[in-house]
């Protein structure tokens, strides 16, 4: 007989497969347990590239301080201070003249590197430690930063960590409740241990992430600890600075600003012909302008005009312009000494002529000078306030025009000045290729809304600029057959004479909120969008609608006497 091979047992291979699966599951489960429940016991000491690393709100800033061997002198890099303070409390360094300038609402501090003397509002004071320049970075002593901004520091000698705090900062305090906890480099048990803390150790809590607290203990190190071993205790409040007495810019309580600009060109106005200007409580004569690169000012100030205004209960906020010269403005704004020269002259003129304020009118400015203009106003305002002077600035409506609009940081300026005059006119400017209103009502309203909403300028600071002039537009065919448009600015009384002479009948245009006239002369079409009692009343009501600080009219000589009564009535009446 033929022998048969032994039969295989079918179940043996299957059981082996199951066994292998079991081992795989067991290994996977063990790995899962190890991964999720077995902590890392690796220990590390945090390493920083800086010798004295800076921390703020639990985050390494990436900057290092300079600390003397006793820990008494701590100096902070300018970039770190600017990062922590932000634009609210500006700190500025100008390399060209080695100037460090710190500005607050009521103080301007100036000093130089390696110097132990400084000035606060032009009064000298001594520094205990000088600013220092190292590796192309400027380091500021903590003393003036603490005095001006309330900046506080914690320096931990063991770890060399410097922690920064701002006034009014609220910090959650906590205590370790377990016998021992591990502070790790990340919010997971597999991350290395930075340090172990015993029960009773106090902590600051900087946040929470995935069931872990972000903590900082007395050593200054920041890491993560499991919430289960920590109990929250109290809220630590970094001491608030004593607030300075606020400057009261407008003392005519219950009255809106009703200002008019007095344009002074080649001669002083004839005071006997101005009239009473009913309701006007501020006049702004265009007296001061930038004359040269050193910051010298040219003056047309006149004591007789001041006496005339004061006798009628009006304040005088003299206008200071940049002469509308962009290159000259760039040089004048570029460094501290030149800016200070301009400010000192304004202070001197204000004292000589018994002024109540300065109205800044910088126009036709390079966009690159935006920050320098803000800095100039920041440096000017505390010094003028100290002398009791109101600070206001003229701004255009927002547009894409680089030289006339884009250079204005309205939001930053609005935080510094007492009042901001929005020159809501020249919607259609002198050389406009299209004839139209100087300031249609919808355009004016949109201009106001954008500054209030986009730039967050408070309505109690915003003053509506109102035109007292209009333009006579001439439309005619040129030699090439194309339509040619030109214009000429005229005042209110001139328009009235035209209407009478040509027996015209104004037509109200609801889309612009103004009366309109047109006529032909010499084959050309003449068009005028009028400024009169109708438009003036509408503009005053617009200022009231948004509860603005008041109005400012450009300029007084374009007026007709009747409009002052309308402005006064609409502006000062209660709703």
Q: What is the pLDDT of residues 325-367, one digit of tens each?
A: 999 999 999 999 999 999 999 999 999 999 999 999 999 999 9
Question: Is the model more confident about 453 or about 250?
Answer: 453
How are strands ordered across the β-sheet holding 91-94?
A: 91-94, 99-103, 108-111, 117-120, 123-126
Distance (Å, rounded) from C-alpha 392 to C-alpha 418? 6
The residues near 443 (Cβ < 8 Å, ≥ 6 apart) are: 397, 424, 427, 437
Looking at the chain, which residues constitute the CATH 3.30.457.10 domain(s)?
Answer: 53-165
Residue 438 has a pLDDT of: 98
Report the share of the chain in percent with pLDDT over 90: 86
Token couple for 480 = 């090439």
Query: Domain 53-165 is of which CATH architecture?
Result: 2-Layer Sandwich (3.30)
Query: Which residues touch 188 (CB under 8 Å, ≥6 apart)?
Result: 210, 212, 224
| CA–CA dist 282, 389 (Å, integer) | 13
CB 547 within 8 Å of CB 554: no
- 32-66: pLDDT as tens digits: 555 555 789 999 999 999 999 999 999 999 999 99
Rg of the chain in Å (alpha carbons): 35
Report the run of H or E that residue 336 belongs to, with start and end. Answer: helix 336-352
Give the model's pLDDT for residue 1: 46
Provide the 8-state DSSP code for 428.
S
CB atoms within 10 A of CB 1: 3
pLDDT band at residue 8, thresholds of 50, 70 and 90? low
d(CA 489, CA 470): 6
| Arithmetic mean of pLDDT, 416-437 | 97
- The alpha carbon dihedral of 381, 385, 389, 395 has a sign of positive
Neighbours of 524 (CB within 10 A): 14
Say yes or no to pLDDT of 243 above 90. Answer: no
Q: Are 455 and 448 in contact (CB under 8 A)?
A: no
440-489, pLDDT tens digit by residue? Answer: 999 999 999 999 999 999 999 999 999 999 999 999 988 777 889 999 99
Q: What CATH fold (topology level) applies to the domain 170-237?
A: SH3 type barrels. (2.30.30)
The terminus-to-terminus CA distance of the chain in angstroms comes to: 125
- Lay out the sheet containing 53-56: strands in order across: 59-64, 53-56, 161-165, 152-156
What token pair was written down for 49?
């590239």
pLDDT tens per residue, range 145-188: 998 999 999 999 989 999 999 999 999 999 999 999 999 999 99
β-pairing, 53-56 with 59-64? antiparallel
pLDDT score for 338? 98
Coil, strand, or helix at residue 489? strand
CA distance 275 to 314: 13
Beta bridge partners, 289, equal 298, 321
- Percent of the chain past pLDDT 70, that is, above it, reads 93
Please give the model's pTM, rounded to 2 decimal places: 0.89
What average pLDDT does range 431-435 have in this prediction? Answer: 96
DSSP conformation letters of 84-143: HHTTTS-EEEEGGGTEEEEE-SS-EEEE-BT-SEEEETTEEEE-SS-BEEETTEEEEEHH
Whether the CB-CB separation of 283 and 259 falls below 8 Å is answered with yes
How far is 128 from 114, CA to CA, in rounded Å? 11
Tell which wins on pLDDT, 304 or 27.
304
Residue 240 is predicted with a pLDDT of: 84
- Return mean pLDDT, the chain: 93
3-state SS string for 193-232: EEEEEECCCEEEEEEEECCEEEEEECCCCEEEEEHHHEEE
Q: What is the pLDDT of residue 244?
A: 77
For position 88, what pLDDT does the model report?
65
Report the pLDDT averaged over residues 131-144: 94
| 503-551 pLDDT per residue, tens | 999 999 999 999 999 999 999 999 999 999 999 999 999 999 999 999 9
- Tell me the C-alpha distance between 553 and 394, whole Å: 12
Give the residue range(s) of CATH 2.30.30.40 domains in the chain: 170-237
CATH code 3.20.20.80 region(s) in the chain: 257-467+531-572
pLDDT over 70 (residue 3): no
What would the CATH number be for the domain defined by 257-467+531-572?
3.20.20.80
- At 259-300, the pLDDT tens digits run 999 999 999 999 999 999 999 999 999 999 999 999 999 999
Q: Are 548 and 259 in contact, with CB atoms under 8 Å apart?
A: no
Phi, psi of 83 (to 5 degrees): -65, -45
d(C-alpha 281, C-alpha 552), whole Å: 10
pLDDT at residue 561 in the model: 95
């Amino acid at each position: 007989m033929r022998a048969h091979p032994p039969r295989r047992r079918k179940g043996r291979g299957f059981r082996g497969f199951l066994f292998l699966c079991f081992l795989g599951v067991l290994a996977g489960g063990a790995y899962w347990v190890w991964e999720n429940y077995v902590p890392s016991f690796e220990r590390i000491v945090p390493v920083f590239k800086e010798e004295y690393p800076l921390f703020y709100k639990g985050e390494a800033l990436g900057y290092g301080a300079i600390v003397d061997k006793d820990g008494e002198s701590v100096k902070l890099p300018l970039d770190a201070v600017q990062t922590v303070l932000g634009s609210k409390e500006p700190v500025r360094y100008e390399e060209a003249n080695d100037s460090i300038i710190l500005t607050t609402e009521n103080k301007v501090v100036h000093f130089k590197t390696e110097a132990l003397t400084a000035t606060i509002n032009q009064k000298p004071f001594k520094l205990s430690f000088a600013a220092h320049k190292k590796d192309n970075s400027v380091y500021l002593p903590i003393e003036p930063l603490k005095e001006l901004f309330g900046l506080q520091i914690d320096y931990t000698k063991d770890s060399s960590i410097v922690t920064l705090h701002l006034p009014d900062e609220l910090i959650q305090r906590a205590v370790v409740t377990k016998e021992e906890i591990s502070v790790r480099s990340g919010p997971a048990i597999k991350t290395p241990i930075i340090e172990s803390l015993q029960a009773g150790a106090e902590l600051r809590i900087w946040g929470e992430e995935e069931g872990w607290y972000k903590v900082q203990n007395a050593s200054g190190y920041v890491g993560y600890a499991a919430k289960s071993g920590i109990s929250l205790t109290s809220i630590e409040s970094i001491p608030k600075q004593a607030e300075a007495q606020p400057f009261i810019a407008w003392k005519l309580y219950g009255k809106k600003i009703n200002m008019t600009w007095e344009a002074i060109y080649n001669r002083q106005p004839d005071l006997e012909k101005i009239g009473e200007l009913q309701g006007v409580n501020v006049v702004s004569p265009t007296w001061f302008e930038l004359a040269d690169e050193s910051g010298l000012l040219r003056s047309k100030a006149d004591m007789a005009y001041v006496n005339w205004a004061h006798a009628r209960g009006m304040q005088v906020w003299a206008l200071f312009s940049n002469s509308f010269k962009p290159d000259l403005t760039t040089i004048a704004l570029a460094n501290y000494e030149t800016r200070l020269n301009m400010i000192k002259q304004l202070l001197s003129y204000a004292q000589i002529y018994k002024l109540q304020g300065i109205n800044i009118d910088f126009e036709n400015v390079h966009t690159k000078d935006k920050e320098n203009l803000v800095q100039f106003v920041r440096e000017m305002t505390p010094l003028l306030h100290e002398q009791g002077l109101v600070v206001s600035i003229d701004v255009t409506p927002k547009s894409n025009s680089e030289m006339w609009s884009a250079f204005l940081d309205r939001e930053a300026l609005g935080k510094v000045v007492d009042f901001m005059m929005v020159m809501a006119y020249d919607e259609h400017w002198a050389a406009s290729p299209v004839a139209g209103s100087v300031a249609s009502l919808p355009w004016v309203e949109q201009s106001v809304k954008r500054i209030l909403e986009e730039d967050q300028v408070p309505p109690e600071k915003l003053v509506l600029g109102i035109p007292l002039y209009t333009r006579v537009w001439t439309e005619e065919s040129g030699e090439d057959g194309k339509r040619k448009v030109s214009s000429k600015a005229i005042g209110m009384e001139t328009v009235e004479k035209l209407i009478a002479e040509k027996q015209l009948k104004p037509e109200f245009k609801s889309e612009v909120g103004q009366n309109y006239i047109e006529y032909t002369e010499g084959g050309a079409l003449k068009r005028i969008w009028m400024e009169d009692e109708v438009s003036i009343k509408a503009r005053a009501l617009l200022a009231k609608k948004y509860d603005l600080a008041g109005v400012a009219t450009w300029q007084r000589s374009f007026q007709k006497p009747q409009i002052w009564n309308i402005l006064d009535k609409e502006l000062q009446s209660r709703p």
